[in-house]
Amino acid sequence: MAAEPLVATAANAGLVIVSALCVLCGYRVIVGPTVPDRVVALDAIATNVVAIAVLFALKTGRGLFVTVSLVLAIIGFLSTVTVAKYVTEGDIIERRE
Protein backbone atom coordinates (compact mmCIF):
# COMPACT_ATOMS: atom_id res chain seq x y z
CA MET A 1 0.00 0.00 0.00
CA ALA A 2 1.23 3.46 -0.79
CA ALA A 3 1.92 5.82 2.06
CA GLU A 4 -0.11 8.99 2.40
CA PRO A 5 1.80 12.21 1.63
CA LEU A 6 1.18 13.75 5.06
CA VAL A 7 2.41 10.69 6.94
CA ALA A 8 5.35 10.34 4.56
CA THR A 9 6.33 13.98 5.12
CA ALA A 10 6.17 13.62 8.91
CA ALA A 11 8.17 10.40 8.75
CA ASN A 12 10.77 12.06 6.53
CA ALA A 13 11.19 14.96 8.95
CA GLY A 14 11.44 12.54 11.85
CA LEU A 15 14.05 10.48 9.99
CA VAL A 16 16.23 13.53 9.38
CA ILE A 17 16.02 14.68 13.01
CA VAL A 18 16.64 11.28 14.56
CA SER A 19 19.58 10.63 12.24
CA ALA A 20 21.11 13.94 13.34
CA LEU A 21 20.57 12.84 16.96
CA CYS A 22 22.48 9.64 16.23
CA VAL A 23 25.41 11.70 14.99
CA LEU A 24 25.28 13.83 18.15
CA CYS A 25 25.30 10.67 20.28
CA GLY A 26 28.37 9.60 18.32
CA TYR A 27 30.14 12.62 19.78
CA ARG A 28 29.61 11.18 23.27
CA VAL A 29 30.77 7.75 22.06
CA ILE A 30 34.05 9.21 20.82
CA VAL A 31 34.73 11.79 23.55
CA GLY A 32 33.15 10.14 26.61
CA PRO A 33 35.73 9.97 29.39
CA THR A 34 34.87 6.54 30.76
CA VAL A 35 33.74 3.25 29.26
CA PRO A 36 30.20 3.39 30.76
CA ASP A 37 29.74 6.76 29.05
CA ARG A 38 30.35 5.12 25.70
CA VAL A 39 28.05 2.24 26.57
CA VAL A 40 25.25 4.63 27.53
CA ALA A 41 25.72 6.57 24.30
CA LEU A 42 25.70 3.38 22.23
CA ASP A 43 22.52 2.31 24.02
CA ALA A 44 20.93 5.64 23.11
CA ILE A 45 22.04 5.15 19.50
CA ALA A 46 20.47 1.66 19.49
CA THR A 47 17.15 3.04 20.74
CA ASN A 48 17.32 5.81 18.12
CA VAL A 49 17.84 3.20 15.42
CA VAL A 50 14.73 1.37 16.67
CA ALA A 51 12.81 4.63 16.21
CA ILE A 52 14.37 5.04 12.75
CA ALA A 53 13.12 1.59 11.71
CA VAL A 54 9.56 2.41 12.82
CA LEU A 55 9.73 5.76 10.99
CA PHE A 56 10.91 3.97 7.87
CA ALA A 57 7.95 1.60 8.17
CA LEU A 58 5.67 4.66 8.37
CA LYS A 59 7.40 6.23 5.34
CA THR A 60 7.22 3.24 3.04
CA GLY A 61 3.99 1.77 4.37
CA ARG A 62 5.52 -1.68 4.87
CA GLY A 63 4.78 -3.36 8.17
CA LEU A 64 7.82 -5.59 7.87
CA PHE A 65 10.10 -2.88 9.25
CA VAL A 66 8.25 -2.89 12.58
CA THR A 67 9.51 -6.45 13.02
CA VAL A 68 12.97 -5.23 12.05
CA SER A 69 12.75 -2.65 14.83
CA LEU A 70 11.83 -5.37 17.33
CA VAL A 71 14.91 -7.37 16.36
CA LEU A 72 17.06 -4.25 16.67
CA ALA A 73 15.66 -3.60 20.15
CA ILE A 74 16.54 -7.14 21.22
CA ILE A 75 20.08 -6.83 19.84
CA GLY A 76 20.58 -3.46 21.54
CA PHE A 77 19.48 -4.78 24.93
CA LEU A 78 21.68 -7.86 24.63
CA SER A 79 24.73 -5.82 23.65
CA THR A 80 24.20 -3.39 26.52
CA VAL A 81 23.92 -6.14 29.13
CA THR A 82 26.89 -7.99 27.64
CA VAL A 83 29.17 -4.96 27.72
CA ALA A 84 28.06 -4.10 31.25
CA LYS A 85 28.93 -7.60 32.45
CA TYR A 86 32.20 -7.64 30.52
CA VAL A 87 33.32 -4.33 31.98
CA THR A 88 32.61 -5.52 35.51
CA GLU A 89 33.65 -9.15 35.53
CA GLY A 90 36.18 -9.28 32.71
CA ASP A 91 34.16 -12.20 31.39
CA ILE A 92 30.69 -12.57 29.97
CA ILE A 93 29.67 -16.05 31.07
CA GLU A 94 30.95 -16.69 34.57
CA ARG A 95 32.65 -20.00 35.11
CA ARG A 96 32.02 -21.84 38.31
CA GLU A 97 35.03 -23.75 39.60
Report, in Å, the least distance between residue 88 CB and other proteins.
Answer: 4
Report the distance separating Cα 41 and Cα 27, nearest Å: 9
Identity of the amino acid at 17: I
Task: Give the Cβ contact number of residue 55 at 10 Å.
Answer: 22
Report, in Å, the least distance between residue 65 CB and other proteins.
Answer: 8
User: What x-and-dash track marks residues 35-64 binding other proteins by CB under 8 A?
Assistant: xxx-xxx-xx--xx-xx--xx-xx----xx
Which of residues 34 and 93 has its CB atom nearest to other proteins in the complex?
Answer: 34
